[in-house]
Amino acid sequence: MHNQLTPWKDKILFTPGPLTTSPGTKQAMLRDLGSRDTAFIQLVRNVRSRLLEIAEAPKDEYACVIMQGSGTFGIEAVISSAIPQDGKLLVLINGAYGRRILSIAAIHGIARESIDYGEEKPVDPASVRQALERDPAITHVMAVHCETTTGIINDVAAIGGITRAASKRFLVDSMSAFGGVPLNVKKANIDFIISSSNKCIEGVPGFSFIIAHNEALAECKGRARTLVLDLYAQWEGLEKDGQFRFTPPTHALMAFSHALLELEQEGGVQARAARYAKNHDCVLRGMRDLGFTAFLPDALQGHIITSFCYPNHPRFDFADFYARLNAKGYVIYPGKVSNAACFRIGHIGRMDTNDARDLLSAVRDTLVEMGITLSGS
């Protein structure tokens, strides 16, 4: 237990979220604000407007909808609201989050098709064109921007060009990339893009948000398969009187509003991406020097999160490695790659290369404690 007499330092979260947030963002939550308070309604209006700016989505063509719950709630809201009863979804899969999209479509009884590229390959836009030519019943296409399973970044702008040329709607799960990977949503021909409060904007968990093209959003009217995840009704409520249909995460929104201010002060998405890229370069170089191998080749590796293979050493035990790093104040993340033993180190959140170097020293000390010598360390 911490009380005011025991100072403590939070562990640094090298994870894909929840992640380390700034003191200012944490402080911004320390208020009680009623959900119908005009200050809160104004804050929500500002947040929605600033998210459109970050997406480079013109305000007369796109709308921002905030949905309570984690990122998956936003994804399920879009899938279950956008695709009509006679529609068909093509899912482009190269990791666990792509597979989850397919599961959501299955639960809602949505007709679906998928292309699985394996976890070591990016989505191939040419294959999307061929799939659309082969199956004219497909009405919607969905891809993951940064597949957090490995850290691979898919070229959503190239896929968007193909879906637009074929007059299909394009849905993007940009959970771990939005705000940390520059993207012009209009130029990329994206109809719905989803992210959440606790990723590259560096807020705390509590909600997801969706940037939707007005025409695509209008089509959602009457299509929802659930009450709470009805994207159109949620948008309509927010537009009508600025209020949520159900209790909003007021504190998470206050924190997020401050986090957006800090993103602006940092220099916007480009500057944030540059900081994350430096974190990534520092960790990758340092881990290689210690004898670790990244799962992906450099050409495919994005700057959001990196998967490292378990070292081939009899004394390496991930649970022990994780616990020892945790005790030193550094939280890494288990792997999600299906056919390789990996762990992950995230590069997003309120941290810089000093933190990355501290993590690397802790990894070095941990290997010594475990009696592990890798070629390189």
Ligand X SMILES: Cc1ncc(COP(=O)(O)O)c(C=O)c1O
Site residues for ligand X per CB under 6 A: 16-17, 70-72, 97, 144, 148, 173, 175-176, 196
Minimum Å gap between C-beta 118 and ligand X is: 17
Question: What is the CB neighbour count within 10 angstroms for residue 367?
Answer: 22
For ligand X, the closer of residues 173 and 191 by Cβ is 173
Minimum Å gap between C-beta 141 and ligand X is: 16
Minimum Å gap between C-beta 366 and ligand X is: 25
Contacts of 29 (CB under 8 A, 6+ apart): 204, 251, 252, 254, 255
For ligand X, the closer of residues 179 and 311 by Cβ is 179
In terms of Cα–Cα distance, which of 19, 62, 57, 45 is closest to 257?
45
Question: What is the CB neighbour count within 10 angstroms for residue 108?
Answer: 17
For ligand X, the closer of residues 71 and 311 by Cβ is 71
Minimum Å gap between C-beta 144 and ligand X is: 5
Minimum Å gap between C-beta 377 and ligand X is: 30
For ligand X, the closer of residues 89 and 144 by Cβ is 144
Minimum Å gap between C-beta 365 and ligand X is: 29
Residue with the two structure tokens 């407007």: 49
Residue number of the CB atom closest to ligand X? 71
Asked if 342 and 260 count as a contact pair (C-beta separation under 8 A), the reply is no
**Distance, CA of 250 to CA of 43 (rounded, Å):** 10
Query: What is the crossing angle of helices 38-54 and 250-266, to 10°?
Result: 40
Q: Helices marked H in the chain — which ranges?
A: 23-27, 38-54, 71-82, 96-107, 125-134, 156-165, 214-219, 231-241, 250-266, 268-289, 318-327, 353-369
- Give the pair of three-digit tokens for residue 166: 């074929």
Minimum Å gap between C-beta 64 and ligand X is: 18
In terms of Cα–Cα distance, which of 107, 44, 78, 80 is closest to 241?
44
For ligand X, the closer of residues 75 and 224 by Cβ is 75
3-class SS of residue 298: helix
For ligand X, the closer of residues 66 and 175 by Cβ is 175
For ligand X, the closer of residues 175 and 284 by Cβ is 175
